[in-house]
Amino acid sequence: MDRRQPPQTDEGWYVLHDFRSIDWDGWRDAPEHRRSRALAEGVDYLTAATELADAEEGDSAVFSVLGHKADLLVLHLRPTLADLDTLERRFEQTALAEFTERADSYLSVTEVSGYMSQEYFEEDGEIEDTGTKRYIESRLQPEIPDSEFVSFYPMDKRRGPEDNWYDLPFDERAEHLSAHGDIGRDYAGRVTQIISGSVGLDDFEWGVTLFADDPTDVKELLTEMRFDPSSSRFAEFGRFLSARRFPPANLRAFLAGEPVPQESTDPHGGHSHGSHGHGQSRDHHRDHGGDSGGHHGHDADSPHGDESGDTGDDDSVRSELDELGVYAGQPHGEDVHAVVLYSAADSDELFEEVEGLRTNFDHYDTHLKTAVYEPQESDSAAETAVVSLWETDRAANTAAGFLADLPDIVRQAGDDEDDSWGTMGMFYTVEPEHRSDFLGVFDDAESILADMDGHRKTDLLANREDENDMFIASRWDSREDAMQFFRSDAFADAVEFGRDILADRPRHVFLA
C-alpha cells in the first residue's frame, strides 16, 4: 500500500479568533455606573492586548463584526497556548464580559511547510536565500495588517470518493498550490492573508484570515480562486465572518451605535491600530501583515497565494524610516514610488542580501526595479545606495520595511538629520556610446557645485549590474541652496545635453 508523503511543517504563533455577541438589551437597561465600569475595563483590556502588555511578542486587534453571527471580534496572536489561555480568562474578569457571550471562536497556529521550501526542513536547516528567510519568519510570526476590512473562514481539503486531496502525490499537490499562489500574487498590495493550521486544534484544518481596505478586493480574489482546481475540486469551506477594524479607544462609540472611526489617539498614551508596539521583538516596518516578499501559496496546503501587506500609518512608518535615513515616497509628479537607502556594508555582501529580497519582490506585479548602486572608484568615501521602485505607495512602504533590515544602514554623509537638504537623481540611463561623455559632464558639474554656497557633497553611483544606469545623490545646507542650482544655467545646459545621450528621462527626488 502506497503511503502519501505529508508536508513537513514548522509552527510559529498560536492564533485565537474570539467572536463575542453583545447583550444589547442588558446593555441598554444597565445603570450608567455599570456601563461606565464595563467601558473602562473593556478599553483597558483591549488596549493592553494590542500594546502587548502581557507578552514580548505577538499581536492583537479589535473588529466590529458585520451581520448576525457576532458583534465583536478580538484577534490574538501569541507565542504559546498559555498566553492565549490567560488572555481569554483575563477578559472574563472584566465588567465588559458580563454583557457578552461567546458566539464563536477558532484556535489555530501559524505554519510553514515543505511545499514552500524543502531546503528549510533539511538536516542543517540553513537557507541561503535572505528573502526566503524573511518570508518564513513573516509567516511564522506575522503582524496583523492595518487594513479596515477582515474576512475569516475555516477550510478543509476535500476527502471525497472522487476528489481526495490526500490521495494526490506530493509533487502534484505542490503544483496545485503553486498555480493557486500565482492568482494570489496578482492581488499583492490589495489583499493580505494570515494562514494558520488547525488540524487537531479545531473543527477544520486551516483558518484563513484575509485583510483589505476594499472588501470587493477580497470578493474578487475569492471568486477568481473558486475557479482554480485547488478550490473547485479540493476545497471545503466553513462559514465566513466579516468585520471592520477599530481602535480600542473607540469602544464607547461602538457600543453607542455611533460611526466607528478607523483612527484615533489612544487615551493610554499609545496610538491607533497604525502602531502595534512590536519594537521589543521585531522590526515594526515589516509590512503590517508580514507577508510581503515571499513565495506565496506553497505553505501547508495553504488555500491562497499570499499578498503584500498593508502599509499602516504612512506618516508613522515614514517617520521611523527617516530616522534610519531611508526614503520611501513618490518622486514629485511621477507615477512611481521609490525606496532609497544607503549602506556602509561590503558591497558584495549587500548585493547578495538585496538579490534575495529582489527575487521575492519580483513575484509582485507592482515591483518595477530594485538595484544596488556603487560609488565610482574615484569616490571611495561615498556610500552604496539601494534603490527600489514600485507602482504603488503601499507596496513601496512594505518593501521599505524589509529593505530597512539590510546590513549597516547609514545616513548619507553630509546629512546631519536636522540640518540638511537632500536630492536624488534617478533614471540616468546613459546610451552606452555616450557614457564617457556623461562622466565628463558630471565632472564639470561637480566642479561648479564645489564652488556653490550651501553645497556639501554630490556622489555619482552606478548600477552594479548595468554601468550605464546612474544614480546621483547630493546634500545641501538648505532647500533654497539646492533650488538655486536647479534654477541655474549650468543645470539647464546639463538637461539639454541629457536629451541626446540618456535612454530615459531622469527623475529627481527632493528630501525635506
Q: Enumerate the active-site residues.
A: 153
What's the CA gap between 304 and 53, in Å, rounded? Answer: 33
**39 in Cβ contact with 32 (< 8 Å):** no
The full length of the chain comes to: 512
| 382, amino acid identity | A
Helix (H) or strand (E) holding 443: helix 435-450
**490 in Cβ contact with 448 (< 8 Å):** yes
What's the CA gap between 330 and 394, in Å, rounded? Answer: 11
**Residue 106 burial by CB count (10 A; 0-12/13-18/19+): exposed, middle or buried?**
buried
**127 in Cβ contact with 10 (< 8 Å):** no
Residue 446, CB-side half-sphere exposure with 13 Å CA sphere: 15
**Residue 39 burial by CB count (10 A; 0-12/13-18/19+): exposed, middle or buried?**
middle
Beta strands in 348-497 (DSSP E): 367-375, 384-390, 409-410, 421-429, 455-463, 466-476
**Residue 190 burial by CB count (10 A; 0-12/13-18/19+): exposed, middle or buried?**
buried
Cell numbers of 341, please?
537607502
Q: What's the Cα-to-Cα distance from 83 to each of 14, 78, 88, 197, 201, rounded to whole Å?
A: 9, 6, 9, 18, 16
